[in-house]
Amino acid sequence: MTDAPDFVVVDVETACSRVSSICQIGIVGFKDGAELFAYETLVDPRDDFSPFNVRIHGITDDHVRGAPTFADIHQLVDGHLAGRITVTHSMFDKGALGAACTIHQLTAIETRWLDSVRVAKRAWPHLPSHRLNALTAFLGVPHRHHDALSDARAAGMVIVRAIEQTGVDLAGWLSPPPRHAAKAPVPAPAGPLKGERAVVLGGARDGPLAQRLAAAGARVMTSVGATTTLLVIGDDQPFGRFVTAHADYRRATALRDGGAAIAILTEEQLRRRLDG
């Protein structure tokens, strides 16, 4: 390729809960706000297909029969991503590629990662959701959700539109935003959650959900630890169906499986608990 992209976007679909089980990959290069190239292929994950994942993306074992394995396409994928700025919508795809490299005993892909969820939250903080399908509906971008190539194109357009909207260039988006230390709200002296030590997944430590937990008496913590008693998955968490891969979720389930008294609730379940 003689004309190098400003950035590339990668998206993967997986066959099951193991993040290494890549069954489709889409890569799109962008230059000067327009698509420069696109690559897509089905991938034989050499793993099981779970009914849950199949319902989401529609890819089955029959579809990937005869398709290349990740090891077969690793060099091509590395050629597109290595040494460049690579966009993913959440860091799930980064983790999936890393896990696939490990499983197949391949060299990790060295690139500079940019999360388009983080970009979207800074560009359009007023939106109730920054999931990819919600963003494309808001931006009027054509999109077929959970198709790897379409998802990659859509995430790339989020970056393009964010640059247009804010005037912040790509280098600016790669720089971390100014940070302030989010202070957890002070727990109320009494309430139905008094004594609970809660962590919010997908929301700021001082955000509305944290405020509600504190108002009910809970102490809001930064991350899940041995003393955590409650993990609440916010309505606006950006991880979608991959929330179970988040480190706090994995720690919470490990503690629960080990006999710890920790509850995992959605925000809706929390509302019912508090309102009921």
Predicted local confidence at residue 80, as pLDDT: 97
Ordered by start, the domain boundaries in the chain are 7-174, 197-275
Structure token digits, residue 48: 């099981």
Give the torsion sign (CA, 109, 224, 193, 215): negative
Q: How confident is the model at residue 185 (pLDDT cuts 50, 70, 90)?
A: confident
DSSP conformation letters of the chain: --S--SEEEEEEEESSSSTT-EEEEEEEEEETTEEEEEEEEE-B-SSPPPHHHHHHH---HHHHTTPPBHHHHHHHHHHHHTTSEEEESSTHHHHHHHHHHHHTT-PPP--EEEEHHHHHHHH-TT-S--SHHHHHHHHT----TT-HHHHHHHHHHHHHHHHHHH---HHHHHSPPP---PPPPPPPSSSTTTT-EEEEESS-TTSHHHHHHHHTTPEE-SS--TT--EEEE-TT-TTGGGGGGSHHHHHHHHHHHTT---EEEEHHHHHHHHH-
pLDDT of residue 205: 74
Question: Which tens digit of pLDDT belongs to each residue from 188-206?
Answer: 998 999 999 999 987 777 7
Whether pTM exceeds 0.75: no
**DSSP codes of every residue in 133-170:** HHHHHHHT----TT-HHHHHHHHHHHHHHHHHHH---H
| Chain centroid, CA 16 distance in Å | 16
Please write the tens of the pLDDT for every residue from 134-147.
Answer: 999 999 999 999 99
Burial class (CB in 10 A: 0-12, 13-18, 19+), 207: middle
Residue 100 or residue 202, greater confidence: 100
Residue type, 198: A
Q: What is the mean pLDDT of residues 217-231?
A: 92
Q: Give residue for tokens 């979207």.
A: 120
Query: What would the pLDDT profile of 164-176 be if each residue is shown by its tens digit?
Result: 999 999 999 998 7
Which among 84, 70, 71, 69 has a CA at the least distance from the CA of 28?
Answer: 84
Name the pLDDT band for 275 (thresholds 50, 70, 90): confident
- 238 pLDDT above the threshold of 70: no
Q: Report the C-alpha gap between 249 and 231 in whole angstroms.
A: 8
User: What number of residues does the chain have?
Assistant: 276
Give the count of beta carbons closer than 10 Å to the beta carbon of residue 22: 27
Its CATH architecture, for the domain 7-174, is: 2-Layer Sandwich (3.30)
Name the nearest CA neighbour of 170 among 94, 92, 113: 113
33 with 163: CB under 8 angstroms? Answer: yes
In the numeric block, which tokens belong to residue 230?
A: 């409650």
- Give the pLDDT of residue 184: 80
CATH level 3 topology of 197-275: Rossmann fold (3.40.50)
What burial letters (b/e) apply to 116-145, b meaning 16+ CB within 10 Å?
bbbbbbebbeeeeebbbeebbebbebebee
